[in-house]
Amino acid sequence: MEHAVTIDKLTRKFGDFKAVDEISLSVDKGEIFGFLGANGAGKTTAIRMLCGLLLPTSGSGTVNGHNIFTESEKIKQSIGYMSQKFSLYRDLTGRENLLFYGSVYQIPNGDLKERIAELSESLDLKEFIDRPTESLPTGWRQRLALAASLLHRPQILFLDEPTGGVDPVFRRKFWEILYRLADEGTTLFVTTHYMDEAEFCRRISIMHRGKIIEIGNPQELVKKYNQPDLQETFISLISRGESNG
């Protein structure tokens, strides 16, 4: 099977501090991969390196077969990124945001309008797409942000805590959308603090203090560590890492 993401001993230092410390992993095409870790574990730094926002200090990696050191422009064309922070323009309407992002991806105008209509249908945006995003509740904004990251039909979608601050009903809906995307062949690379969401992933990795301390199928990890559920597994792994470190 081809890999959507492979990284080997990827490291990023800020001064003397190793935010990401020699992490290695690979993600299969079409997989939903959960990228877990406590706050400050280095998840966001790792994702930013994969998205071409930050240069790694050392190590190697590819995204969609493109080298993360030298081919960040090619990577950007083939990935979508949606972050925990709502990062569309608040003074513009949803549609204006989408039209702008579409133009940046150089989607021809006719295709773009069609694509927006399509996403508006599948993500159920119709109700609020023409309102300034400032006035929208978080769940709606997140769906708009998702739409913006899907405009150019990316092969890999990086989601950095996409459901932070969203109510459970919205979260469920959001994950239904993500499942549909995965069925269509999109690779999903997701960070989350919600263990029920992590259980939706085919594989998860757990990061602690810049290192990946465990990687595998969520159910198998629960069995391996003999814990009642994923939540307890996560906590025991983190606290073990804490006492070792």
Partner 1 sequence: MDKIRYIAIKELRHILRDPRSLIIAILMPILMTFLYGYAINLDIKNIKLAVLDFDNSFESRELVGYFYNSGYFLKSEAAPNLYDPEKILKTGDANAVLVIPPGFADAVASQEEFELGLSVDGADANMSAATSSYSSMALMRFIEAKLPPGMEIPGVTLSTQVLYNPDLKSSHFFVPGLIAVILMMISALLTSITIAREKETGTMEQLLTAPVTPQQVIIGKVIPYIGLALLDGIFILFFAVFLFGVPFNGSILLMLFFGIIYIIAALSIGIFISTLVKTQQLAMMAAQLVTVLPSVMLSGYIFEIKNMPQILQYLTYMVPAKYFLIIIRGIMLKGADFTILWIQGTFLILLTIFLLTIATKKFSLKIG
Q: Would you call 163 helix, strand, or coil by DSSP?
A: coil
Burial class (CB in 10 A: 0-12, 13-18, 19+), 190: buried
Beta strands of 137-210 (E only): which ranges? Answer: 156-160, 187-191, 203-208
Residue from 88, 107, 181, 221 touching partner 1 (CB under 8 A): that is 88
Tell me which stretch binds partner 1 (CB under 8 A): 21-29, 81-89, 179-187, 223-231.
81-89
Under the criterion CB under 8 A, does residue 76 sit at the interface with partner 1? yes
Residue from 101, 140, 189, 200 touching partner 1 (CB under 8 A): that is 101
Under the criterion CB under 8 A, does residue 235 sit at the interface with partner 1? no
**Binders of partner 1 among 171-200, rule CB under 8 A?**
none
**Binders of partner 1 among 14-53, rule CB under 8 A?**
48, 51-53
Strands 79-82 and 66-67, bridge-based pairing: unpaired
Under the criterion CB under 8 A, does residue 57 sit at the interface with partner 1? no
Under the criterion CB under 8 A, does residue 96 sit at the interface with partner 1? yes
Q: Would you call 123 helix, strand, or coil by DSSP?
A: coil
Question: CA distances (Å), 114 to each of 59, 96, 98, 119, in order?
Answer: 41, 14, 12, 9
**Binders of partner 1 among 108-167, rule CB under 8 A?**
148, 158
Alpha-carbon span 134 to 116, nearest angstrom:
20
CB of 1 to partner 1, least distance (A): 26
Residue from 9, 90, 126, 172 touching partner 1 (CB under 8 A): that is 90
Q: What is the DSSP string of 52-73?
A: TSS--SEEEEEETTEETTT-HH
The residues binding partner 1 (CB under 8 A) are 48, 51-55, 73, 76-77, 79-81, 83, 85-92, 96, 100-101, 103-106, 148, 158
